[in-house]
Amino acid sequence: MLNMGVVSTCFCVHSFVHMPRPGVHKMSYYQLHTAARCAAKDYYEVLVLGGGSGGITMSSRLRRKVGAENVAVVEPNEKHYYQPLWTLVGAGAKQLAASARPTESVIPSGVKWIKSRVTELDPDKNCIYLANDKKISYKYLIVALGLQLHYEKIKGLPEGFNYPKIGSNYSVHTVEKTWKALQDFKEGNAIFTYPNTPVKCGGAPQKIMYLSEAYLRKTGKRAKANIIFNTSLGSIFAVEKYANKLLEIIKDRNITVNYKHNLIEVRADKQEAVFENLDKPGETEVYQYEMLHVTPPMGPPDVLMNSPVSDTAGWLDIDKEILQHKKYHNVFGLGDCTNLPTSKTAAAIAAQSAVLDKTISLVMKNQLPTKKYDGYTSCPIVTGYNSVILAEFDYNAQPLETFPIDQSKERRLMYYMKADLMPFLYWNGLLKGYWGGPAPIRKLMHLGLK
């Protein structure tokens, strides 16, 4: 999602000094060392990697701090998607086109779009390299690269998507196939999967299951359908309050849940899905399907694997409270590419952006960050075409709800918030750097109750 700007000469900002070197006076914790010249032709005070939710949001916020001409966003894709809408696209409730806008239209005015792919990060020299080997230098780096889908780690995919009866709401190329498979369903097993990896929007694999069940009821096919959720996890949801309600729904709607079942192969020509039993290594089970929704394994972007900025698993290694890199203190991150121990959602990015905005502001003033991210994330669990459970929680998997009501109950109002209000807020609030999550609303709500 990006383009590029040129500066004939620049200062290459070396990494923050952690230990004084011989002949160099000890500097304060956040002070930059700018003594050496840099041969790179391109330099930005703030360089943002990724033009998704986190990247665009932070480029909007930083544009107001340092000036648009001093900010650049590196992003290769020409379209920007509001991916939370794909749950409803896969169920036929929304059109795919409604989730997409040209990347150019969401890049903040005056901010440079570097339309290329990042191939290497060199934080010790405060530079990154692009796909054409071009080097870009920075003073501050924000990493918001999202995560990577790995359909290929399931035998038989992605080529299996060329067959009918199979779809996935996690890809722009396969989300409409989910709706087609649902419409074409006649009788048999409708199977929904959850992989043995971190995922973005952990509730999404269930959402399409509930919507599919509702659709089959509405079309008179439910009696001939076996709804099956095969999940690699050991529980239905991480937060007990919401898990209890979901288990009630599952029981009432006669849905079968098999825990510790991980999809390892799809034989699309035979309409067979093969699952491994994670509790019994080596044991597999073959399921015949009439409809299969695949949630793929996911992982960090390739560029972060074995990168100096990443942990051993390849996720960006940042402080979970202030969102600053643990080693390179002019590097920051948010969103799905990080190792923050919370669910990877757009709502989490909104809350993280507000904290990161404050963190960077203080770092730029050579001050210690004070605002802390509590792990807030939100998962509107769509349970039907007019009902949603609004799950909101923190790092400790404890409810952190915005409204003074029991949000574990299915509500029509929350559905309209998910389907209509949140997309509007995303395009007009979050991406423009004005929406930092519901914390202010929550505070007002609870103050009103005192």
Residues β-bridged to residue 149: 298
How far is residue 85's CA from residue 92's CA, in Å, rounded to a whole number?
11
10, 139 in Cβ contact below 8 A? Answer: no
How far is residue 275's CA from residue 312's CA, in Å, rounded to a whole number?
28
Residue 221 φ/ψ, nearest 5 degrees: -105, -5
How far is residue 378's CA from residue 193's CA, in Å, rounded to a whole number?
21
Residues classed as catalytic: 201, 379
SS3 16: coil
How far is residue 337's CA from residue 55's CA, in Å, rounded to a whole number?
11
Q: How is residue 17 written in tokens?
A: 């000094």
SS3 313: coil
How would you write 344-382 as a 3-class SS string?
A: ECHHHHHHHHHHHHHHHHHHHCCCCCCCCCCCCEEEEEE
